[in-house]
Amino acid sequence: MSALFSSLALRSVTLPNRIVVSPMCQYSAERGEATAWHMIHLGHLALSGAGLLCIEATAVEPDGRITPGDLGLWDDATEAALKPVLAAIRKHSHIRVAMQLAHAGRKASSAAPWDGGQLIPVADGGWLPHAPSAVPHKDGEEPPLALDAAGLNRIREAFAATARRAVRLGIDALEVHAAHGYLLHQFLSPLANQRTDEYGGSRENRMRFPLEIFDIVRAVFPADKPVGVRVSASDWVEGGWTLDDTLAFAAELKKRGCDWIDASSGGVSPLQKIPLEPGYQVPFARAIKHATGLPTIAVGLITEASHAEQIISEGAADLVAMARAMLYDPRWPWHAAAQLGASVEAPPQYWRSQPRDQKALFGEISFGQR
């Protein structure tokens, strides 16, 4: 029995295997609205055989977009644009669908990666981002606006409103994005947070606003559906957020009913130095799981089925999330199942693709034809 292809229950949501399609920004929305690209992109990944498909970082307000092309869910138009995408997925796949709720903070108003990814000045059609403190992400950039009490309240209400819209869309799970140098991570990291009020200074204070946001989302989302959090477990910069800080944050999240920690790292500073190698972030997932008992998601250059199987079987994490590897091979779970002697769900239109030496890959299937 493959550990990677064993089931996992998160509240009322049961996943048939431990493979997650990571939330991957596509920078292809229009005014925050999903487009035909999202129908194609999410539609084909919904047929991948993974246990969970997570929709990309979805901005809770227009100013919270990383780029002008970011997906959003802040009004009736953005909600309506996602309905047909989700309806198509539901019609042709049983995959569980999660959504990552996000706000870019000081990393907002940026160009798409293929256009350089740099801050777009207001004069060139950008907007002035908001952040915990008026500290730019990079030297030479215009400082963001420091959030005042009214701004904090606006963002609280935006996360709550987006979570309610996700409920109406029938989303199965939510992930609060507190990683990769975006707003909630900015509050956590002393590199970005230089506030002197109750939201800055000590680690306890810096955790306060992200924990408030989690509480708001958890309260709005149905109690029988899971809510997790993505974290950057280390800033990879001296004087920044550390694994010990992450363990303290995860412990507080556990008290509040968090269902998983998605353990990534970096993103808050261009000075980061990350030792890239396959599975380089798995130790973060392992440490969080062992310290708190929370389910964790391992990410980071995991491309081989045997590696993913080892991560789950050894108890380093409960789920493995795939991003680039899944884009390169959208049938990665099929191929992993074939290697590990497991089976996956596949649409009947594709049943005949099953290799002759893998007759159990799609379970009990009849190939009879008139």
pLDDT digits (tens, 9 = 90+) for 248-306: 999 999 999 999 999 999 999 999 999 889 999 999 999 999 999 999 999 999 999 99
The pLDDT confidence band at residue 370, using thresholds 50, 70 and 90, is very low
CATH 3.20.20.70, domain 8-353, yes or no: yes
Which tokens hold the place of 92? 């042709």
Q: Which is more confident, 29 or 370?
A: 29
- pLDDT on residue 358: 81
- For residue 36, is pLDDT > 60? yes
Catalytic residue among 182, 199, 280, 328: 182
The pLDDT confidence band at residue 356, using thresholds 50, 70 and 90, is confident
pLDDT digits (tens, 9 = 90+) for 244-257: 999 999 999 999 99
pTM for this predicted structure:
0.95
Measured CA distances, 100 to 60, 72, 103 (Å): 10, 10, 10
The residues spanned by each domain of the chain are 8-353
Q: Tell me whether residue 27 is one of the annotated catalytic residues.
A: no
Measured CA distances, 147 to 105, 132, 280 (Å): 10, 6, 34
Angle of helix 149-169 relative to helix 76-92, nearest 10 degrees? 30
Contact between 233 and 175 under an 8 Å Cβ cutoff? The reply is no
- pLDDT on residue 363: 66
pLDDT digits (tens, 9 = 90+) for 51-84: 999 999 999 999 999 999 999 999 999 999 999 9
The pLDDT confidence band at residue 366, using thresholds 50, 70 and 90, is very low
pLDDT digits (tens, 9 = 90+) for 102-117: 999 999 999 999 999 9
Question: Distance between CA 256 and CA 253 in Å, rounded?
Answer: 5
Where is average pLDDT lowest: 166-175, 215-224, 324-333, 356-365? 356-365
Which tokens hold the place of 125? 């059609």
- pLDDT on residue 354: 84
Write the secondary structure of the chain as one string of H (helix), E (strand) and C (coil).
CCCCCCCEEECCEEECCCEEECCCCCCCCECCECCHHHHHHHHHHCCCCCCEEEEEEEECCHHHCCCCCCCECCCHHHHHHHHHHHHHHHHHCCCEEEEEEECCHHHCCECCHHHCCCECCHHHCCCCCEECCCCCCCCCCCCCEECCHHHHHHHHHHHHHHHHHHHHHCCCEEEEEECCCCHHHHHHCCCCCCCCCCCCCCHHHHHHHHHHHHHHHHHHCCCCCCEEEEEECCCCCCCCCCHHHHHHHHHHHHHCCCCCEEEECCCCCCCCCCCCCCCCCHHHHHHHHHHHCCCEEECCCCCCHHHHHHHHHCCCCCEEEECHHHHHCCCHHHHHHHHHCCCCCCCHHHHHHCCCCCCCCCCCCCCCCC
- pLDDT on residue 367: 40
Mean pLDDT of the chain: 95
pLDDT digits (tens, 9 = 90+) for 322-347: 999 999 999 999 999 999 999 999 99
